[in-house]
Structure 1
Amino acid sequence: MNHDEFVGDVQHRLELSSRGEAIRATRAVLTTLGERLQADEAADLAGPLPMEIDRFLHEAESGQTFDYRELVARVSQRARVEDADAAFYAQAVVDVVEDCVPETELDDVTAQLPEDYAELFELVGDDGYY
């Protein structure tokens, strides 16, 4: 998947009116996820992503410890949306990431996160309409 396809997919799934909003949502989610993951895992997850997208994971201050509610709060602030929308943004962006990375890579990510992050992966593998 290339950059335009990735951003277009995020824009479609989140029903956003512009590509800029889709990029902001993607940056908010991947930067925050990158902060929560260990640096090597963030780099592994970034590897298969388009280079214009992978930088959000590479540039994050990795290795921080915070719960899922804090992830949603950070995404909310960065994407400039309400917490309920931020949770859905996070789920949708992670689902698009899942389309780009090997299944084993997402397994490695989930293994690094505590149980309260299960909600983040609710859309993964769901082929339904958003």
Structure 2
Amino acid sequence: MQDEEFYGLVQEAGHLDTMDRAQAATEAVLETLGETLTGGEAENVAAQLPDELAGLVEDADHDGAGYDREDFVERVGEQLRGTDVEADDAEQYADAVTDALAVALTDGELQDLKSQLDDDLDPLFEGVTIDRENA
């Protein structure tokens, strides 16, 4: 999968009107996700993403922050400030990006990723609206 394909999935799932907005939302969510992971898991996730997106996860401060859903969404909103993407819709964008991740990652890697996240974030990976076969 290429960067543009990933952004396209996020744009569709997040109901964003431009690819630039999808890119900003993706960057905010992946950077926040990277903060929640250990360095080793971030590298494993990054290995299955296009280079530009991989860098977002790998270059984050991997402190295993352990954000619950509220903290995660708040942090994504903070990352969106200064962009033309509404920070108030951070939860919608987090859901769209995790849907795209569910398509981009193998099932095993997705399970490894989820195992490092607070259980409160599991709903972000449920009800994926993107069909892996058509992505």
- Range into which the TM-score falls when normalised by the shorter chain: 0.7 to 0.9
Structure 1 length-normalised TM:
0.87
Q: By how many angstroms is 1:126 displaced?
A: 5.9
1:16 equivalent in structure 2: 16
Q: By how many angstroms is 1:36 displaced?
A: 0.6
Which structure 2 residues correspond to residues 56-75 of structure 1 after superposition, within 5 A?
56-62=56-62, 63-75=64-76
2:17 & 2:128 partners in 1: Cα distance?
Answer: 23
Q: Secondary structure at the match of 1:124?
A: coil
1:122 & 1:75 partners in 2: Cα distance?
Answer: 19
Contact 1:42 1:57 in 2 (8 A): yes
The count of corresponding residues between Structure 1 and Structure 2 is: 126
Aligned residues: percent identity? Answer: 40
1:20 & 1:82 partners in 2: Cα distance?
Answer: 15
The structure-2 alpha-carbon separation of the partners of 1:125 and 1:19, relative to structure 1 and needing over 3 Å to count, comes to: closer
Structure 2 length-normalised TM:
0.84
2:116 aligns with one of 108, 112, 115 = 112
Which stretch shows the higher mean deviation, 115-124 or 69-78? 115-124
Contact 1:35 1:64 in 2 (8 A): yes
Contact 1:36 1:64 in 2 (8 A): yes
2:121 & 2:34 partners in 1: Cα distance?
Answer: 14
Q: By how many angstroms is 1:43 displaced?
A: 1.1
Contact 2:29 2:97 in 1 (8 A): yes
* Alpha-carbon RMSD: 1.6
List gaps (5 residues or longer) in structure 1.
Answer: none
Contact 2:13 2:129 in 1 (8 A): no
